[in-house]
Every structure is written in C-alpha cells, then in structure tokens.
C-alpha cells in the first residue's frame, strides 16, 4: 500500500475512530463513579458502577410512549443534541492526542455546539405542552446565559494566555497563577451545566425546582437513552475541558500525560460526587448568584492572564 495514503489517511482515520469510541464508551462511567461516591458517603450500598450501561441497553430496546401533542421534533431533538455534544467532544484534544478536527476559532464552535444541544433539548421539552417541562426549559435557557458568559470568559483567558484561538492550542497552558481561578470558575459551570447539586438534583424529576432533569419527563425508550448518554458525554466534555485548561499536560510524554489526564478525570468526578453528597441544593434565587461568582472567577483569571502577558 502507498505509505502516503497510510500516513495521511488511514492512520488519522483509525485514530479518530478509536478516539470517538473511547469517548462514547467512557462517558457513562462518570455518572457511575459519582453515584458510587454518593453511596459511600451516605453509607448505602448504591447502584453498581456500570448501572448506566445497563440502563442504556435496556432503554435502547424498549418501545416508547409518545405524547399526542408532540411533533417528530420531540424525537429528532435529542438525536441532534447528542450529535452536537459529540461534536464538541471531537474538538477537544485528549491529553497527548490532538483534537480530531482543529482550526482557528474552533473554541467558539465548541461553545455554540453546546448551545445547539441546549436549543434542541429545550424545544423538545416544549413539544409536550407540559407546564413542568416549560419551567425546566425556561430555567435551562435562562441560566445558560450566565454559564455561557463564564465559559466565553474562560476561553478568552486561555486565548490571552496562550495566544491561540483553537482549542488544541488553548488547552496547552503554561503553569500560571490564573489556573486556580479558572479551575474554580469552570468547576462551578460544570456543576451547573450538568444538572448537579447545588444547582439541580439528578435524583429526582418530580420537583418544581428542577432545571435539566424536568425537561426529559415525557421522553422514554431510545430517545431517553440518547439523552442520558448525551448527558454523560457532556459531563465528560466539561471534565476534559476543565482538566486540560488547568494542567500543562503538553509538556509530558505520552504515557504520563494519559495517566495524568485519567487521574484528573477521576479527581473531578470524585469532587462532583462529594459536592453532591455534602451540599444541599441551593434556594432557587441563589442560583444566578453562584453562576455570577463563577463568571467572576473566570473574569479574574482573564485579568490575571492579561497582566501576565502585557
């Protein structure tokens, strides 16, 4: 076979398929770890680590109950949202491995793909005409205004720090003092965007104060499986973003970098689990305050980075 073909086409393709497969397979593990931590702290036996995999398999084979008010968009929405989240994951580098698709300005594409996923889930929720889901969708899109401002500020901070406009370049930070601020800000955004305590409680759907979880009330069967997998993937995406925005992994060689990244993912997941076990959900009116705090963390990270460069 032509070596050029192998080097320029076959190998990247293989690597891409492998990377996507790792992302897809690894994602449902994270909620499993969070649940184990919660069970351990509470002294319960808790669900098995691989519970979400069993759930996904079961849901994929089930029939669905569809609201009479819903249009085909109710089913198409979760599919597009899932592709959008997967797309945003493909733009992220994986420690030593570069991103699957990288160009100048892809950080904004990353941000807007997550927004597209939000548009799809929120409008799929409104399909049923249920007041509960309307509330959830309204809160989702409203609080996202704050978390999106925090995210773009974090991206600006990284851009100033590294002088790059692509995620591959941005997520190779040099060790610097703004990393701590950025970590605090991004971790808060991670909790908010992934329906975690103290913003939301993934354990219950039947509360008037839910945000994300209430939007999936009327989904069942394969679409629900896609939504659950997408949610797990989104947690993975945010954890990857947080870890690589803070840790200078690009200075390490292949194996230590992979090890560090995996350890960082584990630490983040454990932190999410502990936050969930030890904190109570915030009163609703305090959610914007906490998100504004996250924005301020990112803003100060940006100012520190700015001061460091100029």
Partner 1 sequence: MSPGCLLSLALAAMVAGTCCAPRWTRLWLGCTVAATLLTLGAAISVLAGGPWEWHGAFPIGGELPHLRADGLSAFFLVLLSVIGLAGTVYSSEYWSPKKHPGSAYPGRVWWNLLLLFMGLVLLCSNGLHFLIGWELFTLCAYFLITRERHLPAVRRAGWLYLAASHASALCLFAFFAAIAARTGSWDLGPLRDHLELAPLFWLALIGFGLKAGLFPLHIWLPSAHANAPTHVSALLSGVAIKMGIYGLMRFSGWIPTPADAGWVVATLGVASAVLGVAFALGQHDLKRLLAYHSVENIGIILIGLGFAMMASRAGQPGWGRLAMAGALLHVWNHGLFKALLFLGAGSVLHATGTRRMSELGGLWRAMPWTAASFALGAVAISGLPPLNGFVSEWLVYLGLFGAVDGLGPGSAAAVPAAILLAVTGAMALACFVKVVGVVFLGTPRTLRAEKAVECGWFMRSPMLLLGGACILIGLAPALFWPALQSAIAAWEPGWAMDVAPAPLLSLGIWNVGFALAAALAATLLLRRVRRNGIARAGTWDCGFAAPTARMQYTAGSFAGIITEWFAWILQPSRHADKITHPFPSRAAFREHTPETVLEKVVEPSAGMVMALSSAMRRLQHGRLQFYILYLVFGLIALALLAFWGGAP
For partner 1, the binding residues in 85-124 under the rule CB under 8 A are: 86-87, 101, 103-106, 108-109, 111-113, 115-116, 118-119, 122-123
Closer residue to partner 1, CB minimum distance, 61 or 253: 61
Question: Minimum CB separation from partner 1 for residue 153, in Å?
Answer: 6
137 in contact with partner 1 (CB under 8 A):
yes
Rounded Cα distance between 93 and 296, Å, is 26
Name which of 217, 233, 219 is nearest 92 in CA terms: 233
> What x-and-dash track marks residues 16-45 binding partner 1 by CB under 8 A?
------------------------------
Rounded Cα distance between 286 and 248, Å, is 34
Closer residue to partner 1, CB minimum distance, 171 or 247: 171
Rounded Cα distance between 199 and 170, Å, is 28
66 in contact with partner 1 (CB under 8 A):
yes
Rounded Cα distance between 4 and 270, Å, is 44
Among 29, 30, 127, 297, interactor with partner 1 by CB under 8 A: 127
9 in contact with partner 1 (CB under 8 A):
no
Q: Which stretch binds partner 1 (CB under 8 A): 21-29, 37-45, 127-135, 233-241?
A: 127-135
What's the token pair of residue 153?
Answer: 């500020």
> What x-and-dash track marks residues 174-203 binding partner 1 by CB under 8 A?
------------------------------
63 CB-near residues (< 8 Å, 6+ apart): 221
Size of the residue set binding partner 1 (CB under 8 A)? 80
Please list every residue from 214 through 233 that binds partner 1, using CB under 8 A: 217-218, 221-223, 226
130 in contact with partner 1 (CB under 8 A):
yes
> What backbone phi and psi angles, to 5 degrees, belong to 94?
-115, 85
Rounded Cα distance between 277 and 261, Å, is 24
145 in contact with partner 1 (CB under 8 A):
yes
Q: Which stretch binds partner 1 (CB under 8 A): 30-38, 139-147, 231-239, 262-270?
A: 139-147
258 in contact with partner 1 (CB under 8 A):
no
Name which of 150, 156, 138 is nearest 289 in CA terms: 150
Q: Which position has the token pair 């680590």? A: 49
Rounded Cα distance between 85 and 53, Å, is 18
Closer residue to partner 1, CB minimum distance, 108 or 262: 108
Rounded Cα distance between 279 and 76, Å, is 36
Among 165, 184, 271, 290, interactor with partner 1 by CB under 8 A: 165
Among 19, 153, 178, 194, interactor with partner 1 by CB under 8 A: 153
Number of neighbouring beta carbons within 10 Å of residue 108: 12
Element (DSSP H or E) covering residue 110: helix 106-126
Closer residue to partner 1, CB minimum distance, 33 or 79: 79
């Amino acid at each position: 076979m032509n070596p050029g073909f192998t080097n320029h086409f076959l190998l990247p393709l293989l690597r891409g398929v492998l990377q996507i497969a790792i992302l897809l397979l690894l994602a449902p593990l994270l909620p499993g770890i969070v649940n184990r931590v919660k069970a351990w702290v509470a002294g319960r036996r808790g669900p098995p680590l691989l519970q979400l995999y069993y759930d996904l398999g079961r849901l994929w084979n089930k029939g669905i109950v569809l609201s009479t008010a819903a249009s085909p968009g109710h089913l198409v929405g979760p599919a597009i949202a899932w592709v959008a989240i997967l797309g945003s994951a493909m733009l992220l580098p994986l420690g030593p491995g570069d991103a699957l698709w990288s160009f100048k300005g892809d950080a904004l594409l990353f941000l807007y793909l997550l927004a597209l996923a939000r548009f799809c889930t929120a409008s799929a929720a409104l399909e049923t005409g249920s007041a509960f889901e309307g509330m959830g969708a309204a809160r989702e899109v409203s609080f996202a205004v704050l978390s999106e401002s925090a995210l773009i500020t974090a991206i600006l901070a990284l851009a100033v720090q590294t002088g790059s406009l692509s995620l591959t370049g941005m997520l190779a930070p040099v060790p610097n003092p703004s990393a701590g601020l950025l970590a605090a800000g991004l971790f808060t955004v991670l909790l908010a965007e992934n329906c975690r305590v103290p913003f939301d409680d993934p354990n219950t759907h039947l509360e008037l104060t839910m945000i994300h979880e209430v939007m999936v009330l009327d989904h069942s069967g394969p679409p629900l499986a896609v939504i659950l997998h997408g949610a797990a993937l989104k947690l993975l995406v945010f954890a990857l973003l947080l870890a690589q925005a803070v840790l200078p992994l690009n200075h390490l060689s292949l194996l230590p970098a992979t090890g560090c990244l995996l350890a960082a993912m584990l630490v983040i997941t454990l932190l999410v689990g502990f936050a969930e076990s030890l904190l109570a959900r915030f009163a609703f009116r305090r959610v914007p305050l906490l998100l504004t705090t996250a924005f301020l963390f990112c803003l100060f990270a940006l100012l520190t980075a700015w001061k460091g460069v100029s």
